[in-house]
Structures are given as C-alpha cells and as structure tokens.
C-alpha cells in the first residue's frame, strides 16, 4: 500500500499541514485573511448524528494521518484497518488498537460492522477498492487524486453517482475548511475587483523516493516515480491548488500548456519530471500559472489571486490581501489589522472579526488556521455519512423499499450537507490535473473538451 516509510518532508501531508512560510510573511508584514476561530456555517464541522463505524485501507503515512485524525474525532469509530504490508499494519494498530487488522481489503468490505471506508492507497489502486466498497454499500472517502487515469476516475465517479444511499467524498480536503469558504465568499463577492490572473506553486527540496527493504517493495512504494502509476507533481500535489483556483474562479479551464524537466533527481531511473510548469487558461482571459519542483524549496507553497483592486495570497489556511492604491474603500478594512510586507502594506481580513473582538479573542486570531483541512474534511464526511445513514434507516422503517422515493428524500437531506468535495468535484479535478500532466509530459497545449467532464 501507499507510502510505507515516512519521509521527512513529503507531498500531500506536509503540503496540507503547513509550513513556516506564513510566519515569514507575517514577519515581512502582510494582510492575514483568517476565518473566525469558531467555525462558521456552512463549514461548521461538528458531525451530526450517530457515530460511524470506519475501516481504513492503506496505512502509509497519509493513511496513518487519516487514522490518527479519525481517532481524535468522537463520531469516528474505527473498527477495521487494512494494509498488505505487515509493518504498516502494525503501525496502524497504534492508532486503532481495537480495530480488526487485515491484509485483505475484501475482509473490510465483507465486515458488516464497517459503514464507511477510507481509501488511502496509491491512486492506481483506488478504482478496484472504491468501486468494490460502493458496491458493498459502504460510504467511501477516497483520497485525491481519485485515480491515475481519467478512465479509472470516471469509473469511480460513476459508481459513486449510482450509489445514492452512500456518501462519497473525494480527499480534496481544502473544500471543507471554513477559511476557504470565507475566502470563497470574499472572492466571489467581487471584493478583489475583476479577476486578472492567478499563480500557485509547490516547491520542495526532496527526492520523492522512499527507502525500501527489497526490490519488489521498492517498486511498490515508489509508484510516484514511474509514469505508469504516477499522476506527476501536478496530479499528486498540484491537484489541490488547481482545484482551489477552479473552485474560486467558478470556471473550468479551457486549455492547459505544460513543460516538465528532470533536472535534479537524474540518477535513480525515474521518468517523472522533478520540475514542472503549467499555464491554465480560464474564460475571460484569466490564466493560472503553476509551477512545482523537487529541486528547490524557496517560498514553499501558496496561491495568489490577482484582481483589479487587490491581490489575495493563500497559504495553508491563512490569507493576506494586498490592495491597489486606487481600490475603493470597503469600510471594514479601516479597523482591520495592518501588516507590512516587503514594500507592501496589507489589511488583515478575519471573518466575523467584530464578533471575535466582542468575545475578547481579537480579530487576528489564527487558531482556525491551525486546525488542518483533513480534520474538517473527515468531520464533514462522518457528519454527512451519519445523517444519510440515519435518513435511510428512518425511511425504510416507515415506508419499506421504495428506491425512487428514497432517492428524492436523500436529495433533500443532502441539500444541508456539510461542505465537501463530492464525486463530480473529485472527477473534475482529476480531469484538469491529469490533462495538465499530459501537457507537461508532452510539452504541449491541450484544449479541454466539455465531454471529458461528463459522467453520463
């Protein structure tokens, strides 16, 4: 299964957990945009309903991160864990000592106690596991990217669409974070003016290679380094940032042009570029420039949204706004925290800052940002799964088997679901990221076709 050994600084996990960049920015002086400490609607993450019995498949570093996070959520009852590699299974048991441990995922799916399955294996194994889990009637949380091919991702998304009694969530966890929802409203409201362009990056100095005890294991765990199994830097890591930009702009990209090179890590026979650039073209002439490298860690990772009135930089769960001198006065910024960046002055934006001030917590609280996206994403999944499961049970007890009527009822129930990436969002993100990877590998421009996003 995925990631048998922990690297000191690796991909999704470190990407999503944060870094010192925000501290650096604060020191330079910036404008933090921070959601309120107490989560707001719609991203309030407290699950509703009863605890959900969980099974986690894939206990590499990220699978164990999921396991560790679940173990801290009262609504998660971990009853099964699975990995094909015994040392990983043993390490997983440290977070879930009472869970049934197995090396066969079918045992997890056959376990009637298991209601929700978390798929945290390498992407090329997702299709078999996720589709089987949905067929077994489980709720499924499947890590992003959904798959390493569009065909596999489509199969998963279609299975999720057909399984209307199950909750399916893609691991684009930023979509569940209240800070992101705050920024979404802020950007969509036009507060930064007319969108002009966007820029995002993920920079690390690391090999992306795991040490292994033997050749077979080496091949299995280093799936990121082979084009046959790897979605590349943009598909494995960049997918989260590409999805965020697509979400905030509320537009699918029209085309992507990419470049990729293998510059630093040339001596281990990998065929996946360690340095990439991509330009995604959105409607109205807006472009996203994305770059990622394993050869240099400068400025780590962030996104910047440029508007005609201001630029907004998003780093982990924090953000800063840089206003243009001719931008209209919004009003609230007069009272907001001001920070100085290099040659720039920014205004602190904190959602519901006045309420926080009233509560004596100040408008500069950064603690909401300290709660990672994964926690909010898992809480959303558990809350939605618990609610749907209760709704199905209540319906069947009162009206028996009537799938069409149940489908209508669940559509109503889902209207108030906790925010999370569903199968369509997960599939859209895969199409964008994998086509970008294709453009990078071929150093070419690819025009997106509307039908690529169609699930039928």
Residue 74 near other proteins by CB under 8 A: no
Distance CA 386, CA 399 (A): 20
Shortest separation between residue 418's beta carbon and other proteins, angstroms? 5
Work out whether 409 is an interface residue with other proteins (CB under 8 A).
yes
One of 272, 304, 406, 432 touching other proteins (CB under 8 A): 406
* Closer residue to other proteins, CB minimum distance, 116 or 430: 116
Is 177 one of the binding residues for other proteins (CB under 8 A)? no
- CA pair distance 266, 382, nearest whole angstrom: 43
Instruction: State which residue, 11 or 36, has the beta carbon closest to other proteins.
Output: 36
Q: How far is the CB of 411 from other proteins (least distance, A)?
A: 11
Half-sphere exposure for 189 (CA within 13 Å, toward CB): 8
Q: Does 105 bind other proteins (CB under 8 A)?
A: no
Q: Does 415 bind other proteins (CB under 8 A)?
A: yes
Task: Please report whether residue 49 would count as binding other proteins according to CB under 8 A.
Answer: yes
Least Cβ distance, residue 381 to other proteins (angstroms): 13
When binding is defined by CB under 8 A, the residue of 370, 408, 444, 447 that contacts other proteins is 408
Nearer to other proteins, 113 or 402 (CB): 402
CA distances from 210 to 1, 296, 300, 353 (A): 13, 19, 21, 44
β-partners of residue 280 are 256, 288
Is 343 a binding residue for other proteins by CB under 8 A? The answer is no
Cis ω for the linkage preceding 42 (within 30 of 0): yes
For the chain, how big is the Rg over CA atoms in Å?
A: 22
- 267 versus 412: smaller Cβ distance to other proteins: 412
Write out the H or E segment, with its range, that includes residue 56: strand 52-57
Minimum distance, C-beta of residue 97 to other proteins, in the bound complex (Å): 27
Give the 3-state secondary structure of residue 244: helix
Q: How far is the CB of 357 from other proteins (least distance, A)?
A: 15
Considering only 6, 38, 124, 227, the residue that binds other proteins (CB under 8 A) is: 38
Among 44, 100, 184, 330, binds other proteins (CB under 8 A): 44
- For residues 356-395, which are near other proteins according to CB under 8 A? 383, 387, 390-391, 394-395
Q: Using the rule CB under 8 A, which residue among 23, 370, 405, 445 binds other proteins?
A: 405
Hey, what's the torsion of the CAs at 329, 334, 340, 345, to 10 degrees?
A: 10
The CA distance from 202 to 237, in Å, is 8
Query: Strand, helix or coil at 103?
Result: coil
How many C-beta neighbours within 10 Å does residue 211 have?
A: 11
Residues with Cβ < 8 Å from 385, sequence gap 6 or more? 52, 115, 116, 139, 167
Q: Determine how β-strand 318-323 pairs with β-strand 32-34.
A: antiparallel
CB of 137 to other proteins, least distance (A): 19
Q: How far apart are CA 434 and CA 278, in angstroms?
A: 12
Question: Is residue 41 a contact point for other proteins (CB under 8 A)?
Answer: yes
Query: How many amino acids of this chain bind other proteins (CB under 8 A)?
Result: 28
Which residue in the block uniquely carries the two structure tokens 């453009």? 439
What residue ranges bind other proteins (CB under 8 A)? 38, 40-42, 44, 46, 48-50, 383, 387, 390-391, 394-395, 398-399, 402, 405-406, 408-409, 412-413, 415-418
């Amino acid at each position: 299964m995925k990631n048998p050994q922990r690297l000191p600084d690796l991909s999704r996990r470190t990407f999503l957990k944060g870094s010192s960049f925000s501290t650096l920015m604060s020191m330079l002086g910036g404008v933090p945009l921070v959601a309120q400490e107490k989560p707001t609607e719609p991203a309030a993450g407290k699950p509703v309903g009863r605890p959900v019995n969980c099974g986690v498949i894939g206990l590499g570093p990220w699978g164990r991160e999921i396991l560790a996070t679940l173990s801290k959520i009262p609504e998660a009852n971990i009853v099964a864990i699975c990995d094909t590699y015994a040392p990983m299974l043993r390490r997983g048991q440290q977070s879930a000592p009472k869970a049934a441990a197995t090396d066969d995922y079918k045992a997890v799916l056959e376990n009637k106690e298991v209601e929700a399955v978390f798929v945290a294996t390498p992407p090329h194994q997702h299709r078999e596991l996720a589709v089987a889990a949905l067929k077994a009637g489980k709720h499924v949380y499947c890590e992003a990217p959904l798959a390493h091919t569009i065909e596999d991702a489509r199969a998963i998304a279609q299975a999720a669409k057909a399984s209307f009694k199950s909750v399916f969530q893609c691991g684009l966890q930023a979509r569940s974070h209240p800070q992101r929802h705050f920024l979404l409203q802020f950007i969509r409201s036009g507060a930064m003016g007319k969108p002009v362009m966007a820029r995002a990056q993920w920079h690390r100095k690391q090999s992306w290679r795991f040490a292994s005890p033997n050749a077979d294991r080496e091949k299995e765990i280093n799936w990121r380094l082979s084009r046959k199994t790897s979605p590349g830097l943009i598909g494995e890591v960049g997918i989260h940032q590409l999805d965020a930009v697509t979400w905030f702009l509320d537009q699918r990209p029209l085309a992507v042009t990419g470049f990729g090179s293998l510059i630093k890590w040339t001596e281990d026979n990998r065929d996946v570029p360690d340095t990439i650039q991509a330009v995604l073209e959105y409607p109205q002439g807006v472009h996203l420039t994305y770059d990622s490298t394993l050869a240099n860690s400068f400025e780590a990772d962030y996104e910047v949204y440029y508007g005609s009135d201001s630029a907004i930089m998003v780093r982990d769960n924090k953000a800063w706004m840089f206003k243009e001198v001719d931008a209209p006065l919004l009003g609230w910024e007069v009272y907001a925290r001001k920070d100085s960046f290099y040659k720039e002055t920014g205004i602190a934006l904190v959602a519901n800052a006045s309420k926080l001030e009233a509560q004596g917590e100040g408008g500069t609280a950064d603690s909401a940002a300290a709660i990672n996206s994964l926690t909010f994403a898992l809480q959303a999944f558990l809350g939605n799964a618990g609610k749907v499961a209760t709704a199905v049970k209540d319906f069947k007890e009162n009206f028996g088997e009537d799938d069409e009527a149940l489908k209508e009822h669940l559509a109503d129930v889902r209207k108030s679901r906790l925010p999370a990436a569903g199968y369509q969002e997960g599939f859209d993100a895969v199409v964008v990221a994998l086509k970008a990877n294709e453009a990078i590998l071929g150093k070419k421009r690819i025009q997106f076709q509307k039908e690529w996003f169609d699930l039928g």
